[in-house]
Structure 1
Amino acid sequence: MNHTPGLLLLLAALVPTLPAHADDAARRAEFADLSIEELANIDVTSVSRRPERLQDAPASVFLITAEDIRRSGARNLVEALNLAPNLQAARSSNANYFISARGMNGTSNSPANKLLVMIDGRSVYSPLFSGMFWDEPDVMLEDVERIEVISGPGGTLWGVNAVNGVINITTRHARATQGDLLVLRADDNGAQAAFRHGGTMNGGHWRAYGKVFALGHSELASGRAIDDDWTQGQVGWRGDWERGAERFSVNANAWRGREGQPAPGVIAAPGADVGLNDIQLHGANVTGRWGHVLDGGGSVTAQAYYDYRYRKVPPTFTDTVDIVDLQLQHTLPAHGRHSIVWGGEYRYSRDHVDNSRFVAFLPARASQAWGSLFAQDEVALRDDLRVTAGVRWERNPYTGTAFLPNLRLSWRATPEHAFWAAASRTVRAPSRLDVDAYVPGAPPYLLAGGRGVRTETARVLELGYRGQAGQIVSYSVTAFRNLYDHLRTQDLTPAGQIVFGNLMEGQARGIEAWGNVQMTQAWRLAAGATLLHEEFALKLGSQDLGSLMTTGRDPAYTAQLRSSHVIDAARELELAVRRNGVLGFPDVPAYWAVDARFGWRFAPGMELSVIGTNLNGGHAEYGVASVRTEVPRTVGVKFTWQR
């Protein structure tokens, strides 16, 4: 059913006729009150592990603000990440996503595993395969303060696996979420509801929230329904206290979900019940953070978190993991021209896999520990010239100690124009999938792990420019070249077994660019694009043509254009167009996606939104044509009440 004409007629009717409420003017879009220059002055923390102006950050970093998320109409974290032009996000089913920066977005034998994702300082990648189960990390989007997306290496400050990028999600201080919030949303393929209540306690602030959502079956390109419906719920609590120079916070979350998955070769009719094949998942985590502000501008921060996750994927495996992580960071007061930050991290996990006749992890139980130390010094050579040098030593249980250096140079040519260059080395450490995975079959295993695997390495060169033209235009351009070595392959032993090895090398080069244009006081355009070229080759001793065919088959280009228009104090209109190039083997055609949102604050504290995604029609984004689902056209209504 084509909803596009009806939605456009509705928007055309609403825009000129709905009344504006002057008493709600104070709640206008935040960005409408920020100039281009003020946006450049927003602090980011992911580049140097300390606050610095976005304009001064010597890295390719894109900032997604809370206002960007609200105006986009995104209904989950992954849809919010579509706002970042330096990410490539693709969906193969309702709950199965592939997200990466600068390519390497998964292959036939290697899920995307070179992107580090953090939520309030808690790493959420899976130690089972060094990548992301994107159906696990969830947040209440209304509580997100910002998302910092760094494309490029972050290993020196954040550790192994931050090879091609870092996504740092920060939620709001509890002080900023006082009172009550209710969110109700209904789409033609699902629904969700969320609530939040904030209050004060013992001189501090706290909030509690809960959310639940459901998605129906999706469809193949043929129109046949596939059993991938998805329901999930989550609750959480956060508290923040300040006592003079001391800062304390506690953040806890618990979640449970169920996902349909068709039995091999089975296509389900709408409403089909194949519950015995459903994926079951649940988890809980708690994070404690303490900070102390030192005289002279320095600080000491300590953080600890516990993370429990359970995933049952019939008929292949069930995985239960417990993670404890301890971190310490010391930012020294400025000493002459030097700004030094150093710290360490210890991470311990217990992983238990219930094996099956299809796949096994041997040993089934594993306890692992990672330890690291890092230090970085930023030196002001002149008032307009800075050099940053850092290094991290990180030890993993499979290959020992990795050395992760980083050197950056930043030159502020004028107050509005800055240039930077960087050279880095980073690695992806082996995971249980690389070493402990076995597939039954002769002789005596078809796949027999990879006891001799090495760390995958990347040497990265970057050159960037960030500038602005008064209050009208801002822009950022980055050129990069990644040199990869020891990439994972599947190789044959003399006995005829397949083992994981590291006999592939390659390179990626490209350009990332984005910017904003303030067309009028109430109308802003934002555009972004990425160009990417990848080349890979097998080393002597490997005949793994399958990995060679599928590695680096990422879109040669992605682009987006967004229009944000504040019509008046009560009404706003958001339009977005995205373009993705052809995805290589297995081939996925290039596609356009047109999204829209009309928001109306019809009473104080109440907002009604009409949201349409993929209004030009459904499309495929990832996977083999016979089993991948279409990302459909959806139209929905969202109601938000806040006091």
Structure 2
Amino acid sequence: MYNCFPSHPGPRALVLLLAGALASLAHAADPQGADFADLSIEELANIQVTSVSKKPERLLDAPASVFVITADDIRRSGAATLPEALRLAPNLQVAQVNGAGYAITARGLNGGGNSAPNKLLVLIDGRSVYTPLFSGVFWDVQDVLLEDIERIEVVSGPGGTLWGVNAVNGVINITTRSAQETQGSLAVLRGANNGGDIAFRQGGRMEDGSWRAYGKAQGRSHTELASGAPVDDAWHSGQVGFRADWERGADRFSLNGNVNRGKFEQPRPGTIAVSGTNPGLATVDTEGVNFTGGWQHALQDGGKVDVQFYYDYTRREVPPTFTESLDIVDLQVQHTLPAIGRHSLAWGANARHSWDRVQGSEYVAFLPERLSQTWLSLFAQDEIALMPTLRATLGARVERNDYTGTEFLPSARLSWSAAPEHAFWTAVSRTVRAPSRIDADTYIPGRPPYVLAGGEGVRSEVAKVFELGYRGQPLPRLSYSATLFYSDYDHLRTQELAPSRTAVSFANLSEGHVFGLEMWGSFQATKSWRLSGGLTTMRERFALKEGSNDAGSLLRAGFDPAHSLQLRSTWSIDAARELEVAVRKVAALDIGEVPSYTALDARFGWRLRPNLELSVAGMNLNGSHAEYGGIATRSEVPRTVAVKLVWQN
């Protein structure tokens, strides 16, 4: 399936590929070097971000722990999928579970406590891709053409005031380029020892605007266990879509849509996870359609109005357990007022409705099978200039959901510009994860009559978060960011045994806290050579409340590494050639006995012509490793070597 190299490349194949790349590098090296093709340190500090205040502001001024992944970062890394690109953010935990599955979070709680990761909000061009089935993300179906991404803003920490419930530990905001920036033709061909990708894009102009259309297909072969036995997790998927942007006077419009389809192998319940003649193989079928429309109107007084609407349909068939069909409509309105004295005020409203249909089985059921839900919210945020160098940001959101009623999500932030290149900030926030269908409506048949009997009366999980941060440029060639955080969690989900000892149900009888440090920086060693790195470290403590008998929920901390470190060297050899080498080191996980690992990645890119680029990328060049899961069933993340050709005109 899309294999362009043997399934298991030997050392000789790897050596030949890398030697060829190094030979080209040596032949092309310019001893004088060239200006760095990426953004300068000063330009990085001035990148415009929108995820912190829902309006453009300089990264240096944003009072939050936010890391920006640029389009150049993604291209230079050699990432082939969206989760691989997210590894570039040092404030994220990205763990590959199997061939297409990932566990991704910020600041811990990456599983455990009878839950998949469910406290991270992910947006693609303003469209939320979390599922109300379990408040998490099916990463195997989140796909974009990586060449179309403008930037990815990764905010670690709460974002409930602006983005609503489920933005507890962070927000990932993926923004694609406007159609005007993607004119002409693009073709991408990538082949690797574990699969391949092919993609195209065509852009053009129309009256008052521009458009683009694209398509892509990709596939991967199965992974392996530590024993070398193959795992049933091969997959392939395809996606097509379009985007249009146009302007008329004070109005700007955008419209985009995507259609996707995929097949993902996995073992059936109760069977071993190896392929071949295994009768337990199941194929997960997925499909989806989404449309997003946006309108921005500039007011004469300096304010503006933003309106966004989207429709999202997804279907997921997981034999023999369940099949879900989900329709979501969402409408968001925001009014940004012109400055009134020292105040800059923005307010808005959001209405969201879903129609969920889940066909259960003998393994699991969601009751009722058909359920409609509505979320309504209203928010306001005021940025106050207390002094020329001191700003306070006060905000709150009131959001209603069908399970717990009205939730209150306030936040307060204070930022101080000690000097033009130095900013200190602090924040305190309250946010929640509202219950999902898996919390309240899950039933596992058994005797008598259920083994798991839902979660009637479940409530929201609550987080109170305190942060202290610095972002600045201590030296002309050095940028640096650091954040201390403390998160106090209450009403975390537990699985309680009934007094009859014949069934269990979900409740909220656990609490805990997470204390940690995030920091990263970049150093421009020469005009053509940049070094960057990041470190995250944290400690987690959880406890049961009176009346709980769920000792298993205390293990949730075991799914998170105590620390992770990454170092990256980016060398722009000349205007046509570049080399990037990266090292990631991640501490061990207590659950599943996942050992610590070090991963070495490298990419050499060569622009053969102004419109043609060839690159060779290697991931995990020092060998395969596990990142998540039990010792008997976990996949080893393999060593891969890929060749990629990008043509554009």
TM-score tier (shorter): over 0.9
Preserved contact between residue 159 and residue 168 of structure 2 (Cα < 8 Å)? yes
Task: Note if 1:520 corresponds to 2:530.
Answer: no
Preserved contact between residue 124 and residue 132 of structure 1 (Cα < 8 Å)? yes
Q: Spell out, residue by residue over 1:548-572, the C-alpha distance to the aligned partner (whole angstroms, 9 max, x if none).
A: 1234531000010000100011100
Residue in 2 that maps onto 1:575: 581
2-side partners of 1:241 and 1:556: how far apart? 48
Q: 1:53 aligns with which of 52, 55, 58?
A: 58
Amino acid across the alignment from 1:616: N
Residue in 2 that maps onto 1:590: 596
Task: Note if 1:627 corresponds to 2:633.
Answer: yes
Q: Spell out, residue by residue over 1:73-96, the C-alpha distance to the aligned partner (whole angstroms, 9 max, x if none).
A: 100100000000000000110111
Task: Show the 5 A alignment for 1:230-245.
Answer: 230-245=235-250
Q: 1:464 aligns with which of 464, 469, 472?
A: 469
Residue in 1 that maps onto 2:19: 9
Instruction: Identify if the C-alpha distance between structure 1 residues 465 and 267 changes in structure 2 by more than 3 Å, giving closer, same or farther.
Output: closer
Task: Show the 5 A alignment for 1:233-312.
Answer: 233-263=238-268, 264-269=270-275, 277-312=282-317
Q: Offset at 1:603?
A: 1.3
Task: Show the 5 A alignment for 1:441-480.
Answer: 441-480=446-485
Preserved contact between residue 144 and residue 172 of structure 1 (Cα < 8 Å)? yes
Residue in 1 that maps onto 2:333: 328
Task: Note if 1:540 corresponds to 2:546.
Answer: yes
Instruction: Identify if the C-alpha distance between structure 1 residues 254 and 273 changes in structure 2 by more than 3 Å, giving closer, same or farther.
Output: farther
Residue in 2 that maps onto 1:347: 352
TM-score w.r.t. length of structure 2: 0.96
Amino acid across the alignment from 2:325: T
Q: Offset at 1:445?
A: 0.8
Q: Offset at 1:13?
A: 1.0
2-side partners of 1:268 and 1:583: how far apart? 24
Task: Show the 5 A alignment for 1:373-412.
Answer: 373-412=378-417
Q: Offset at 1:586?
A: 2.2
Q: 1:203 aligns with which of 201, 205, 208?
A: 208
2-side partners of 1:324 and 1:552: how far apart? 37
Residue in 2 that maps onto 1:615: 621
Q: Spell out, residue by residue over 1:274-313, the C-alpha distance to the aligned partner (whole angstroms, 9 max, x if none).
A: 6971000000000000000112431100010000000011
User: Which 5+ residue runs of structure 1 have no aligned equivalent?
Assistant: none
Residue in 1 that maps onto 2:182: 177
Amino acid across the alignment from 1:218: T
Q: Offset at 1:424?
A: 0.2
1-side partners of 2:202 and 2:584: how far apart? 36
Q: Offset at 1:108?
A: 5.7
Preserved contact between residue 194 and residue 211 of structure 1 (Cα < 8 Å)? yes
2-side partners of 1:77 and 1:118: how far apart? 12
Amino acid across the alignment from 2:535: A
Q: Spell out, residue by residue over 1:65-119, the C-alpha distance to the aligned partner (whole angstroms, 9 max, x if none).
A: 0010011010010000000000000011011100000000011610000000000
2-side partners of 1:331 and 1:71: how far apart? 36
Residue in 2 that maps onto 1:82: 87
Q: Offset at 1:30?
A: 4.2
Amino acid across the alignment from 1:614: N
Q: Superposition RMSD on alpha carbons, in Å?
A: 1.5
Q: Offset at 1:16?
A: 1.6
Amino acid across the alignment from 1:322: D
Instruction: Identify if the C-alpha distance between structure 1 residues 463 and 541 changes in structure 2 by more than 3 Å, giving closer, same or farther.
Output: same
Q: Tell me the secondary structure at the aligned position of residue 549 of structure 2.
A: coil
Q: Tell me the secondary structure at the aligned position of residue 513 of structure 1.
A: strand
Task: Note if 1:637 corresponds to 2:647.
Answer: no
Preserved contact between residue 29 and residue 573 of structure 2 (Cα < 8 Å)? no
Q: Offset at 1:260?
A: 0.8
Q: Offset at 1:453?
A: 0.5
1-side partners of 2:71 and 2:56: how far apart? 18
Residue in 2 that maps onto 1:417: 422
Preserved contact between residue 199 and residue 216 of structure 2 (Cα < 8 Å)? yes
TM-score w.r.t. length of structure 1: 0.97
Residue in 2 that maps onto 1:426: 431
Q: Tell me the secondary structure at the aligned position of residue 612 of structure 1.
A: strand
Residue in 1 that maps onto 2:535: 529
Q: Offset at 1:17?
A: 1.3
Q: Tell me the secondary structure at the aligned position of residue 424 of structure 1.
A: strand
Preserved contact between residue 86 and residue 94 of structure 2 (Cα < 8 Å)? yes
2-side partners of 1:550 and 1:324: how far apart? 33
**Number of residues of Structure 1 aligned to a counterpart in Structure 2:** 635
Amino acid across the alignment from 2:111: G
Residue in 1 that maps onto 2:612: 606
Q: Offset at 1:547?
A: 1.4
Q: Tell me the secondary structure at the aligned position of residue 226 of structure 1.
A: coil
Q: Spell out, residue by residue over 1:355-394, the C-alpha distance to the aligned partner (whole angstroms, 9 max, x if none).
A: 1000000000000000000000000001100000000000
Preserved contact between residue 392 and residue 413 of structure 2 (Cα < 8 Å)? yes
Preserved contact between residue 104 and residue 552 of structure 1 (Cα < 8 Å)? no
**Range with bigger deviation, 477-486 or 202-211:** 202-211
Q: Between the two proteins, what is the percent identity of the paired residues?
A: 61
Residue in 1 that maps onto 2:571: 565
1-side partners of 2:648 and 2:279: how far apart? 40
Residue in 1 that maps onto 2:556: 550
Preserved contact between residue 609 and residue 639 of structure 1 (Cα < 8 Å)? yes
2-side partners of 1:195 and 1:275: how far apart? 36
Amino acid across the alignment from 2:87: N
Q: 2:101 aligns with which of 93, 96, 101?
A: 96
Task: Note if 1:150 corresponds to 2:155.
Answer: yes
Q: Offset at 1:6?
A: 3.3
Q: Tell me the secondary structure at the aligned position of residue 536 of structure 1.
A: strand
Residue in 1 that maps onto 2:372: 367
Q: Offset at 1:495?
A: 2.8
Q: Offset at 1:29?
A: 6.5
Q: Offset at 1:592?
A: 0.1
Instruction: Identify if the C-alpha distance between structure 1 residues 45 and 297 changes in structure 2 by more than 3 Å, giving closer, same or farther.
Output: same
Amino acid across the alignment from 1:639: L
